[in-house]
A and B are shown apart, each in its own frame.
Chain A
Amino acid sequence: MSPDSLNAASCLVRLLAACCLVLAAAATAGEIRHVLVLYSSHRLLPANLEGESGLRETIANSTELSTEFLDYPHFEGESYVHTVTTFLREKYALQPPEVLVVGGEEALAFLLGHHAELFPQAPVVHMGVARSFLRSIPPLPADVVGVPIEYDFSGTIEQALRWHPRARHLVVVTGTATWDREFEARLRDEVSHFKDRATAEFLAGLPTGAVLKRLGELGGDAVVFTPGYFQDGEGRHFVPREAARIMAAAATAPVYGPFNTFLGTGIVGGRLPNFVAMGRQTGEIVNALLDGAAPAALRLPEIMPNTLNVDWRQVRRWGIDESAIPGDAIVHFREETLLEAHRNEVMIAATVFLLQAGLIAGLLIEHRRRRLAEQAVQKQRTELAHAARLAVAGELTGSIAHEINQPLGAILSNADAGELLLESGADRRDALREILADIRRDDLRAGEVIRRLRALLAKHEVERQPFDLNEAVSDVAALLRAETRRRGVTLDIRLATTALTVVGDRIQIQQVLINLVLNAMDAVAEVPENRRTIVVSVENVAGGIALAVRDWGHGIAPDDLPRLFDSFFSTKRQGMGLGLSIARTIVEAHGGRIWAEPGPGDGAVFHINLPAASATAGQSSETA
């Protein structure tokens, strides 16, 4: 052990010793006072438990509470009473109670008969005793006091009939024990007052099975009232609460009972005494008596107030109009709504949810705006690309007109020749056939030029279609043939030996290529004609397709290289500086890359890498 923990231990010992001293002082200062509580029935009767809890929470700390149970009605008879009396007297001889509390009518009756033998000097407080019982016996001695209760059968039945306006049939269940018979007698009297309102059916003293069977047959016009029973028609013992529980479970009509201990068993409710309140009231009387008050001098309420109690679950089950529940009623088992049960949490959750919803809505709006903006940008890009193609076409007008006028000229001349042959009258059928064949060929040739041109000029939606890059490049070469001839440039096209499928917009890729070739032609304009060669090569490389345009012209100044693909950057006097920036936009939209580098020796090389269609397909199938 460390010195520290030794210190702590010694401190604890000292503290305990101090506590003991204080307690001893208290014990000698205020003497312990004894109160004996004697219940009619057994210890687990809910009414007893509730009364006791109210009692214990009210009486002073210095009071010692002893409880005894007469266990009526299971044990009865003269010898039992004698035995119990002897037992109690002897048991408490050394600690005589200063106040006696009797819980229940039997306990009161017992004590009234034996008070002389059992602690006659102690005043008696009764609790849980019905006023009707008190009225049925001679007036109580002056040292026996208490606030009676009243089991309000009529009030409960009246309430039941009010809550179930359609009810025309009142079923009353009672048992066979002495108390049960007393309740039955009282009920037969009270129920008769409702005969205008409902017919009465008594299930009195029946076996539990028969009771439950009958209760299970009841229709929508019935209500059940029961005080429970201690014993059924077969002599089986019950706690009334349990009897009420099985009845409520079996009944197809709402069940009412006069005891608040029944609440929670499935009965709807009733006008009920509150046993806890009763215990508290008793506790206050006990305190006053222990403080020396004379029993006769106490000013007590005439009776314990009953309150309307109702089980919220049963209200819902039987469809009772909520507005018919008075404001002072005690509602039990109300299933609090989420909001009521966890108000703060719900508020926080709701706030978070709203914030989140707002955030999501904001993001969605932002997303939508961005998509619209992207669409607008995409549209602008498409239009810009188209404008650039128109510009290219403008540049090519001369050579393209030449390309078209060549076959048109041939067609016209052939037609004229044919006409002259016909006019000559000679039979020149073979010559005419030849002429017609040539005309057709030239027409197709002109048509092909126009087709290529129209494809380039058409304003079209951007496509994503697989196409063969070899073919696209050949097409460009054909389109540029006249232009290269005009400029004295040799266009050397080196196609790949295998088909190179690219997914994307064929026209836009061709546009990029035309742009690069025209740039290259500009670059070689000043060099001697034998060096005006432009090589366009297409080949398969690892991870894609490489397209290169190589020239041996004036080259690119190193300072210009980084800005080459920027918008409005141009080294040409008449250049808009859009061609290469559009080219880059197009290539990047195809998932590719475009860059330039000085050619080995002279000139420049423009490279384009595009993903091959098969590779793209492979990726998408992987992700799919």
Chain B
Amino acid sequence: MSTTPLIHVVDDDESLRTALLRLLGAAGFEARGYASAGDFLLQPPPDRPGCLLLDVRMPGPSGLDLQAALRRQGVALPVVFLTGYADVAASVRAMKAGAVDFLTKPIERAALFDALQRALARDAVQRAARDEAERLRACFALLTPRERAIFDGIVAGKLNKQIAEELEIAERTVKLHRAQLMAKLGITSTAELGRLAERLRHLSD
């Protein structure tokens, strides 16, 4: 899996699309162009960092439509809108839906790159968070049901003795499981375990 970010440029205007791809290429970005929202959806993007540079008005589904569709599909690529005519209603809608920026053509390259950098940064953060959560979920999946129960007990702030009583096992067994699950989750302290539990709860929301 490549870690170089890929910028997806969706614009029906071939001339503008070519120019944008040319500019991004010259600036060292890797970019790919699509003539319509449909074109983009038909080609599932490779699982790599990146962002979307979207024209608002296009024949067929608009940029806003594509943004909504991607959200529904759980594709979390950050979106930068680029429009020929900044109409307030469309920009508000786009920003509410989580767009990184709403730019108007013609666009200064500094502003464009800045927006794209922010989008990529957001993507990186999202991606890192997602990877961490994935890792945690994977670790958590390794726990046995007994270890999960003991984990819940620890998170609930109960003492080993209380957990043992509830599970009707020996306090010594609880201690053993506790060491086992901390090893599985790669943590060394109870405080760390608390933070992990917090994150897990967040993920499962």
Q: Which residues of A contact B (CB under 8 A)?
A: 397-399, 401-414, 416-417, 420-421, 424, 431, 435, 438, 441-442, 445, 482, 485-486
B84 lies within 8 A of chain A by Cβ:
yes
A409 pairs with B84, CB closer than 8 A: yes
At the interface, yes or no: B203 with Cβ under 8 Å from chain A? no
Q: Roughly how many angstroms separate A482 CA and B83 CA in the complex, as a whole number?
A: 13
Near A by CB (< 8 A), chain B positions 3-25 give 13, 15-16, 18-20, 22-23, 25
Q: Which 4 A-B pairs have the closest CB atoms?
A: A409-B105, A402-B84, A420-B26, A413-B19
Known: A399-B85, A410-B15, A413-B19. A420 touches B27 (CB 8 A): yes
CB distance from B175 to the nearest CB of A (A): 63
**A408–B106 touching, CB < 8 Å:** yes
Q: Across the interface, which residues of B come within 8 angstroms of A435, CB to CB?
A: 19, 22
Alpha-carbon distance A57/B83, docked complex (angstroms):
122
Q: What's the nearest-Cβ distance from chain B to residue A396, in Å?
A: 11
B84 touches A405 (CB 8 A): yes
Cα–Cα distance between A456 and B13 once the two chains are bound (Å): 25
Contact A413 B84 (CB under 8 A): no
Indicate if the CB atoms of B57 and A413 lie closer than 8 Å. no
Question: Taking the complex as formed, is B87 at the interface, i.e. its CB lies under 8 A from any CB of chain A?
Answer: yes
* A420 engages B106 (CB within 8 Å): no
B16 in contact with A410 (CB, 8 Å): yes
In the bound complex, residues from chain B placing their C-beta under 8 Å from that of A408 are 105-106
- What residue in chain B is nearest A445 (Cβ atoms)? B15
Give A431 to B22 CA distance when docked, in angstroms. Answer: 9
B146 contacts chain A at the CB level, 8 A cutoff: no
Closest-by-CB residue of B relative to A399 is B85
B85 engages A402 (CB within 8 Å):
yes
**Contact: B84 with A414, CB < 8 Å?**
no
A417 touches B22 (CB 8 A): yes
What are 30 residue pairs bridging A and B, where the CB atoms are less than 8 Å apart in the complex?
A398-B85, A401-B84, A401-B85, A402-B85, A404-B84, A405-B84, A405-B85, A405-B104, A406-B15, A406-B84, A409-B16, A409-B84, A409-B107, A410-B15, A410-B16, A412-B107, A412-B109, A413-B16, A413-B23, A413-B112, A416-B23, A416-B109, A417-B19, A417-B25, A417-B26, A421-B26, A435-B19, A438-B15, A438-B18, A441-B15
- Assess the A406–B109 pair: CB atoms within 8 A: no
Besides A404-B84, A438-B19, 6 other CB < 8 A contacts? A398-B87, A402-B85, A410-B13, A410-B16, A417-B26, A441-B15
User: B168 on the interface (CB 8 Å rule)?
Assistant: no
A442 to B105 CA separation, bound complex (whole angstroms): 14
A13 CA to B107 CA in the complex, in Å? 130
**Interchain CB contact under 8 A, B84 and A411:** no
Q: Are A486 and B106 neighbours in the complex by a CB distance under 8 Å?
A: no
Give chain A residues whose Cβ lies under 8 Å from the Cβ of B84.
401-406, 409
Contacts of A413 in B (CB 8 A): 16, 19-20, 22-23, 106-107, 109, 112
Q: Which residue of A lies closest to B110 (CB)?
A: A416
Interface string of B96-116 (1 = CB under 8 A from A): 000000001111110010000
Q: How far is the CB of A447 from chain B (nearest CB, A)?
A: 14
How far does the Cβ of B133 sit from chain A's closest Cβ, in whole Å? 37
Residues of A near B87 (CB, < 8 A) are: 398
Contacts of A431 in B (CB 8 A): 22
Residues in B with CB closer than 8 Å to A441 are: 15
What's the minimum C-beta distance from B129 to chain A, rounded to whole angstroms?
32
- Determine the chain A residues whose CB is within 8 A of the CB of B108 once the complex forms: 412
How far in angstroms is the closest Cβ of chain B from A218?
108
Q: Which residue among B15, B18, B87, B107 has the maximum number of chain A CB atoms within 10 Å of its CB?
A: B15
When distances are taken between beta carbons in the complex, the residues of chain B under 8 Å from A420 are: 23, 26-27, 109
B59 in contact (CB, < 8 A) = yes
Chain B min CB distance to A238 (Å): 118
Please tell me if the beta carbons of A442 and B15 are within 8 angstroms of each other in the complex: yes
**A135 CB to nearest B CB, Å:** 132
Measured between C-beta atoms, what is the minimum distance from B204 to chain A in Å? 40
Closest to A420 in B: B26
Which chain A residues lie closer than 8 Å to B26 at the CB level? 416-417, 420-421, 424
Contact B106 A405 (CB under 8 A): yes
Cα A407 to Cα B105 with chains together (Å): 9
Q: Which chain B residue has the least Cβ–Cβ distance from A439?
A: B19
In whole angstroms, what is the CA distance A416 to B109 when docked?
A: 7
Instruction: Point out the residues of chain A lying under 8 angstroms from B23, CB to CB.
Output: 413-414, 416-417, 420
* Shortest distance from the beta carbon of B146 to any chain A beta carbon, whole Å: 59
Residues of B within 8 A of A438 (CB): 15, 18-19
Report the nearest A residue to B103, measured CB to CB: A409
Which of chain B's residues have a CB closer than 8 A to the CB of A412? 106-109
Partner among A403, A409, A417, A424 whose Cβ is within 8 Å of the Cβ of B106? A409
- Give chain A nearest CB distance to B49 CB in angstroms: 22
Q: Most chain-A Cβ atoms within 10 A of its Cβ — which of B19, B20, B22, B57?
A: B19
Q: Which residues of A contact B57 (CB under 8 A)?
A: 402, 482, 485-486
Q: Closest CB of chain B to A59's CB: distance in Å?
A: 123
Residues of chain A within 8 A (CB-CB) of B25 are: 417
Residues of B within 8 A of A417 (CB): 19, 22-23, 25-26
- Pick from B22, B85, B104: contact of A414, CB under 8 Å: B22
Tell me which residues across on chain B come within 8 A of A414, comparing CB atoms.
Answer: 19, 22-23
Residues of A within 8 A of B106 (CB): 405, 408-413
Within 8 Å CB of B104, what residues of A?
405
A395, chain B: closest CB distance, angstroms:
13
Chain B residues within 8 Å of A445, by CB: 15
Partner of A410 from B19, B58, B59, B83 at Cβ < 8 Å: B19
State in angstroms the CA–CA spacing of A347 and B8 once bound together. Answer: 100
Neighbouring B residues of A399 by C-beta, 8 Å: 85
Nearest Cβ on chain A to B90's Cβ, whole angstroms: 10
Q: How far is the CA of A421 from the CA of B23 in the complex (A)?
A: 9
B28 to nearest A CB, angstroms?
9
List B residues 83-97 near A (Cβ within 8 Å).
Answer: 83-85, 87
Across the interface, name the chain A residue whose C-beta is closest to B107. Answer: A409
Cα-based distance from A397 to B87 in the complex (angstroms): 11
Compute how far the CA of A482 lies from the CA of B55 in the bound complex, rounded to whole angstroms.
14
**CB closest chain-B residue, reference A398:** B85
Identity of the chain B residue whose Cβ is nearest the Cβ of A408 in the assembled complex: B106
Q: In the assembled complex, how far is the CB of residue B23 from the closest CB belonging to chain A, in whole angstroms?
A: 4
How far does the alpha carbon of A412 sit from the alpha carbon of B111 in the complex, in Å? 12
- B66 CB to nearest chain A CB (Å): 15
Tell me the complex Cα distance, A402–B106, Å: 10
Which residues of the other chain, A, contact B109 by a CB distance below 8 angstroms? 412-413, 416, 420
- Which residues of A sit under 8 angstroms from B13, Cβ to Cβ? 406, 410
Which residues of B are found within 8 Å of A424, using beta-carbon distances? 26
A1 to chain B, nearest CB (A): 113
Measured between beta carbons, the chain B residues less than 8 angstroms from A411 are 19, 106
Bound Cα distance from A413 to B31, whole angstroms: 14
Q: How far is the CB of A398 from chain B (nearest CB, A)?
A: 5
| Chain B contacts for A407, CB-based, 8 A | 15-16
Give the nearest-CB partner of B14 in chain A. Answer: A410
Q: How many angstroms between the C-alpha atoms of A424 and B22 in the bound complex?
A: 14
Q: What residues on A are CB-neighbors of B18 within 8 Å?
A: 410, 438
In the complex, A405→B107 CA distance in Å?
A: 10
In the complex, A417→B27 CA distance in Å?
8
Query: Bound complex: CA of A397 vs CA of B105, how far in Å?
Result: 15
CA A403 – CA B84 in complex, angstroms?
7
B13 CB to nearest A CB, Å: 5
- B134-161 near A? 1/0 per residue, CB < 8 Å: 0000000000000000000000000000
